[in-house]
């Protein structure tokens, strides 16, 4: 690490303090041109991992085949328990102490402070703001403000200046999810402010409010026009996973469970969520597909991550041995492996990338682990007690290939924990459904067979499916019309147009079949 230490020395000489308490935006602007031009070379062959700790440190760690090397460490004014977010070469992370919360923007390569914004008042103890969401050069962050109220704040990514503040909602401890110009966020606490909200992304105005929840302690997840969110804290008689129409706020279904603060992950028509057990729930119907207990008495799972067909979830310490990292087959719920050799609570959300599962541990020693995604073998360990600021519990890690890129990993792909990508897939199938006379068909459906997913057309007859690259079978149906099936092949990050022209049904049998099909999907 001699190269890293040398460059850090150069940075301090030019007046850019890489890791110092009390550094201000004015300090970082002493010589922005010099700061921006200096970068630290990656001394290992793998990606860079960013993770925060309860002692207030933000770590940037370069990964190799069997090691983690510290790139830089920045000390904030408070505690960090959520995942840092990396976008366009900047790390965004929030911390808090007993009196205030602060949002930081740090140079991803050097750790130099770009700006900080304080004054996010915390009502009880060191409640830490959740991970921010970065979309279209705006930082969206949820904050509790005390006295049962809270806010979502929109900040300029370049300066930290506040663009708007939506303060008419309850305490917000979770990450906003921003999709197609709408901010979805849950409120936890307050006498009358326990709701799921949809806010206009440009203004913060409330579009709709869903109040069929007790408290929202999980970050909402958007998938294919539906918002999924968990509810329930101490005192609630029932706790549920909710599926809500993203456009209207209308309830689609609920699934009964003690979900509390864990956030859902959605993929291929299935919702994965956890509490005292890990569940797979049909995204369309809310019916349970499978569930798996953690194995030790008193254990509960943290929010799950889906990676290459496997669900990864860690547990807290129960009354048994506790603190295990589980790998479960996403389709069947069968246990693939369990690693019980890791120290500390593992109920932070892990991140999977390039064959490695990264997991932060909530022990006083402050370990970050890299585990083989296929075998469960521990590949490397980073211990914060070896650093100058001492050890502390770590939050969820975030991974980038190089510091100049955006966050990667399965949490972003699924739209949970407020990462920079809102959509869970990289390609799109779009089209129009008409009759043979080119009249637009409203409320027609398009089924994606491979993922058991269905979308409906609006008044303009259009539909939109976000998918991964591949070959798919689509079937379009409408009441009173014969169905039409087409096969679509597209590559990653490609948009393909597939239109449908439906003929009117010719007999009663076909009409009955169409009616049965439509009713089955509703």
* Contacting residues for 173 by C-beta, under 8 A, at least 6 apart: 127, 129, 130, 142, 144, 188, 217
Which of 25-34, 120-129, 342-351 is modeled with the greatest confidence? 342-351
Q: Is the pLDDT at 46 greater than 90, yes or no? A: no
Q: Which residue has the higher pLDDT, 171 or 370?
A: 370
DSSP notation for 430-485: EEEEEETT--B-TT-EEEEGGGTEEEE--TT-EEEEEE-SEEEEEEEE-TTB--EE
Assess contact for 47 and 63: CB atoms under 8 A.
yes
Of 23-32, 239-248, 291-300, 404-413, least confident by mean pLDDT is 23-32
Summarised one tens digit per residue, pLDDT across range 254-306 is: 998 766 677 888 887 889 988 888 999 998 899 999 999 887 655 788 888 88
Strands (E), 136-205: 138-146, 149-156, 162-169, 177-179, 182-186, 196-200
User: According to the model, what pLDDT value does residue 405 have?
Assistant: 79
In the sheet that 398-400 helps form, which strands lie side by side, from edge to edge? Answer: 68-75, 57-63, 48-52, 398-400
For residue 270, CA distances in Å to 40, 243, 285, 309, 392 come to 41, 12, 10, 12, 35
Banded pLDDT at 459 (limits 50, 70, 90): confident
Give the integer Cα–Cα distance in Å for 132 and 76: 16
Closest to 48 in 3D by CA, of 312, 404, 390: 404
Q: Is the pLDDT at 160 greater than 90, yes or no? A: yes
User: According to the model, what pLDDT value does residue 462 have?
Assistant: 92
Banded pLDDT at 147 (limits 50, 70, 90): low
User: According to the model, what pLDDT value does residue 5 have?
Assistant: 33
Summarised one tens digit per residue, pLDDT across range 397-430 is: 888 888 887 777 766 444 444 444 434 456 789 9
Overall average pLDDT of the 228-254 stretch: 80
User: According to the model, what pLDDT value does residue 400 have?
Assistant: 86
User: According to the model, what pLDDT value does residue 389 have?
Assistant: 52
Banded pLDDT at 503 (limits 50, 70, 90): very high
Of 27-31, 173-177, 236-240, least confident by mean pLDDT is 27-31
Give the integer Cα–Cα distance in Å for 53 and 64: 22
The domains located in the chain, with CATH, are 427-520 (2.60.40.1120)
Strand pairing report for 305-307 and 288-292: unpaired
Overall average pLDDT of the 230-244 stretch: 72
């Amino acid at each position: 690490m001699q190269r890293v230490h040398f460059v850090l020395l150069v940075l301090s000489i030019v007046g850019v303090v890489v890791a110092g308490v009390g550094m201000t935006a004015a300090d970082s602007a002493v010589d922005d041109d010099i700061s921006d031009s200096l970068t630290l070379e990656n001394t290992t062959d793998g990606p860079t991992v960013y993770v925060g700790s309860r002692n207030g440190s933000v770590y940037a760690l370069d990964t190799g085949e069997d090691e983690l090397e510290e790139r830089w460490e920045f000390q904030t004014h408070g505690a960090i328990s959520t995942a840092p977010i990396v976008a366009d070469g900047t790390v965004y992370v929030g911390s808090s102490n007993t009196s205030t919360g602060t949002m930081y923007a740090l140079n991803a390569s050097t750790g130099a402070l770009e700006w900080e914004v304080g004054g996010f008042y915390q009502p009880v103890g060191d409640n830490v703001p959740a991970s921010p969401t970065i979309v279209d050069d705006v930082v969206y962050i949820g904050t509790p403000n005390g006295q049962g109220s809270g806010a979502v704040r929109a900040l300029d990514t370049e300066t930290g200046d506040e663009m708007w503040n939506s303060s008419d909602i309850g305490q917000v401890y979770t990450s906003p999810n921003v999709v197609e110009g709408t901010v979805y966020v849950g409120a936890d606490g307050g006498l009358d402010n326990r709701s799921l909200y949809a806010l206009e992304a440009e203004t913060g105005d409330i579009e709709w409010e869903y109040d069929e929840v007790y408290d929202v302690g999980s970050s909402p997840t958007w998938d294919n026009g539906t918002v999924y969110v968990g509810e329930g804290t101490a005192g609630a008689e029932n706790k549920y996973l909710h599926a809500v129409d993203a456009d209207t706020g209308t309830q689609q279904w609920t699934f009964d469970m003690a979900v509390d603060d864990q956030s859902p992950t959605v993929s291929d028509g299935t919702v994965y969520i956890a509490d005292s057990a890990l569940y797979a729930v049909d995204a369309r119907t809310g019916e349970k597909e499978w569930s798996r207990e953690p194995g030790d008495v008193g254990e509960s799972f943290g929010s799950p991550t889906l990676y290459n067909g496997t669900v990864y979830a860690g547990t807290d310490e129960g009354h048994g041995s506790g603190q295990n990292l589980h790998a479960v087959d996403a389709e069947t719920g069968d246990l693939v492996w369990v690693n019980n050799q890791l120290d500390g609570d593992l109920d932070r959300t892990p991140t999977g990338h390039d064959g490695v599962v990264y997991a932060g541990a909530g022990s006083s020693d402050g370990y970050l682990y890299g585990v083989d995604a296929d075998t469960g073998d521990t590949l490397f360990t980073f211990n914060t007690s070896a650093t100058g600021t001492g050890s502390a519990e770590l939050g969820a890690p975030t991974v980038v290939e190089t510091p100049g890129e955006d966050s990667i990993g399965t949490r972003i792909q699924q739209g949970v924990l407020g990462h920079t990508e809102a959509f869970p897939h990289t390609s799109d199938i779009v089209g129009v459904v008409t009759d043979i006379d080119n009249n637009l068909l409203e409320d027609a459906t398009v089924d994606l067979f491979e993922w058991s997913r269905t979308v409906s057309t609006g008044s303009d007859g259009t539909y939109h499916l976000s998918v991964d690259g591949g070959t798919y079978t689509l079937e379009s149906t409408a009441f009173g019309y014969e169905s039409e099936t087409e096969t679509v092949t597209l590559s990653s990050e490609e948009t393909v147009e597939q239109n449908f022209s439906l003929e009117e049904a010719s007999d009663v049998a076909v009409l009955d079949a169409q009616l049965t099909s439509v009713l089955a999907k509703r």
